[in-house]
Amino acid sequence: MITTDLHKAVETLMKGELVAIPTETVYGLAANATDDEALKKIYALKNRPFYNPLILHISSLKKLATIAAEIPSAALKLAEAFWPGPLTLVLKKQSGISNVVTSGKETVAVRIPDHPLTLELLSRLDFPLAAPSANPFGQISPTSAQHVYDYFGENIEVILDGGECQKGIESTIVGFENDIPVLYRLGSVSLEDIQRVVGEVLVYNQESGNEIKSPGMLASHYAPRTTTYLTQDVDAALNLYPDKKIGLLLFQNTFENSEVSAREVLSINGDFEEAARNLYAAMHRLDHLSLDVIIAQELPNTGLGKSINDRLTRASKKI
């Protein structure tokens, strides 16, 4: 049921069921983070592997101490700068935090979402919410209540409708090693913005270590069902697929090619924030057109362009 009824959402969560919640990034599939059986329902409905941890959502910075056993000074600076907002911090967990949330790790991922409906929901609860994206594991993240319903239908009792997500891609995730910030996942807060707050930031090299340090680190993710290719040269890529029904996912250029079946332009004006906000909705639309191939255009690799390219890389094959 798609609704704005917070009372119904509270009741549903308190009885151990799942609720889809809006955030500024994407819609989340939420459960009581203190109820292991409820948490297992997230993994089951999403078909998400248990080695992939969840992000906890809290309503205020003062609650962070109930989640994290240690809060480095750089973490506090980042929280004060970006919360509520699309930044997730990975911190040493308090002993009472469920191993189902953390996939057995000694750290926990946590953030304060920047959406009025979900902040009000959290304020009415005496427990945090665990909430990965509200989509089947590996598929395109949802940025509207309708996207969630299209995936799960009545298998979710309550889908809170908070409108279209304003950021459009997931939170940036930062952990800490010897109190130095480490970027685990690019997201809606750019690396440059984080560096302006805390200075030095290490970037975790996933290729040099197979350990999943945080949510959102898997190489294949956010993917349409339609075979998708990522390229810097759209014209050359089009020539590789003659007689195919092709959809284009473009940054600015409209590439007026009569042989193309569909095109989505993320930002005519070349605005990275607009492109991020439009990314998943455009991918959903193309994925529903029974295309043979989607060709996605790589963005300039700077600022939020890096984050968008990260999502496109995980959703596609490179040509």
- Full domain range(s) for residue 150: 2-208
Cβ atoms of residues 255 and 268 within 8 Å: no
Q: Are residues 103 and 20 in the same domain?
A: yes
> What's the pLDDT at 242?
87
Do the domain assignments include residue 243? Answer: yes
d(CA 112, CA 105): 21
The answer to whether residues 197 and 248 belong to one domain is no
Report pLDDT for 180: 93
| Structure tokens belonging to residue 275 | 């492109």
**Domain boundary residue, one of 173, 208, 243:** 208
Look at residue 243 in the predicted model and tell me its pLDDT.
86
41 with 144, same domain? yes
Tokens (6 digits) for 193: 């913005």
Pick from 265, 240, 270, 239: which is nearest to 254 by CA? 265
Tokens of 230: 């990522």
CATH number at residue 192: 3.90.870.10
Is 191 among the domain residues? yes
Collect the ranges in the chain with pLDDT lower than 70.
206-220
158 torsion bin: left (phi>0), alpha (psi -120 to 50), beta (else): beta
CB-CB contact of 165 with 144 (8 Å): yes
The answer to whether 199 and 310 have CB atoms below 8 angstroms apart is no
303 and 200 share one domain? no
pLDDT at residue 206, rounded to an integer: 64
Pair (60, 163) in one structural domain: yes
